[in-house]
Amino acid sequence: MMQTGNLKFGVITDVHHYDGAVSEYWNMIPFTSDAHWRRYSTAEARLTAAVDQANTSGCRLFIQLGDIVDDNNSLDDATTRLSECVAITDTFAGDGVIYVLGNHCNSEFSARLDTVYWPTVEDGHNHVRRSNPYNTSYGYTYDHGPYRFVAMYSPGVGVDIADAQLDWLYKGDGTGVLETTLNCVVLSHAVFHESGSPNAQWYDTVGNPLEVIERFEAAGSVIVVLQGHFHRNGIEGYDNQLVAEHNGITYLAMRGSILGKTNGTEDGGTTADSAYWVIEFEDTGTTIDMTITGYEKGSSGTSSATKRKYLIA
């Protein structure tokens, strides 16, 4: 029998949990008007609210799109922060949790990613990476019904995705993770795409977004690309996630959870100054319709894509 094409999943990105002496940090990005507080002290509350909403909405998966922790602290403290986040996502009642590696996670754990970061993440009973056959240095995948979630590693903003990783995505000989009859949802921390054209802002994208997009399109299986990293406040057009349709693929650049001040206006740094989503796929028979429901400062929207063939259960 054919597997159902209906699925709900929760999404949050850029929680930036940091338990140092400073709970607020004024962040000025060079060459932009981006100046805002990072309100670290609300990290656990923001993540808890997102997981609770995913449970209330009946989501089957929960996705964290990178930078679950901030950096600039000791490895022991970073591990503690990560463990606290895992304890929260471990309360998710669905089928699994997917963590995507972000640039801050990579900076914090560095060479200890495989010995500290991932073992800590996989200590949660519902994390999907531990048993995945495609688990490599390029990323991992998780299949759920007719969908394949591809958590690719792209933490190095401004750094090229290497040829070997591009081949891991799509090589053209049937060996790439996107070379499948499943509907693929790509998960990336760095941004590839915005407003219908490749993002040219060096501090947000990988170094070679066009090459990556070419692989997505050549595979023919990608329906949605979910991206994190971008939590610029006070810049025109960037206060919510960006929705772009290009050559049959929907690109979503999700607004980061850590928002703090916006345009220099104090809002108290409560959990309401956050953003998270529930996304629902509905199989119509010929298309997959996507409904995006934003909570707190995440915005809502819709999209659709022609569905792929399903694997036989």
pTM of the prediction?
0.89
Per-residue confidence at 40, pLDDT binned at 50, 70, 90? confident
Q: Give the span between the Cα atoms of 275 and 93, in whole angstroms.
A: 20
- Convert the pLDDT of each residue in 167-222 to its tens digit: 999 999 999 999 999 999 999 998 886 544 444 444 567 888 889 999 999 999 99
pLDDT number for residue 167: 96
* CATH class of this structure's domain 7-306: alpha beta
Highest mean pLDDT among 13-27, 71-85, 239-253: 71-85
- E strands, the chain, are 7-12, 24-28, 35-39, 61-64, 96-99, 139-144, 147-152, 183-188, 193-194, 197-198, 222-227, 242-246, 249-253, 275-283, 287-296, 301-306
| The CA-based dihedral angle spanning residues 98, 104, 106, 112, taken in that order and rounded to the nearest 10 degrees | -100
In degrees, to the nearest 5, what angle opens at C-alpha 309 toward C-alphas 308 and 313? Answer: 130
Q: Please check the confidence at residue 15 and state whether its pLDDT lies above 60.
A: yes
pLDDT number for residue 268: 47
From the number of C-beta atoms within 10 Å of its C-beta (0-12, 13-18, 19+), residue 203 rates as middle
- Convert the pLDDT of each residue in 199-208 to its tens digit: 444 456 788 8
Q: Which two tokens stand for residue 146?
A: 């007719």
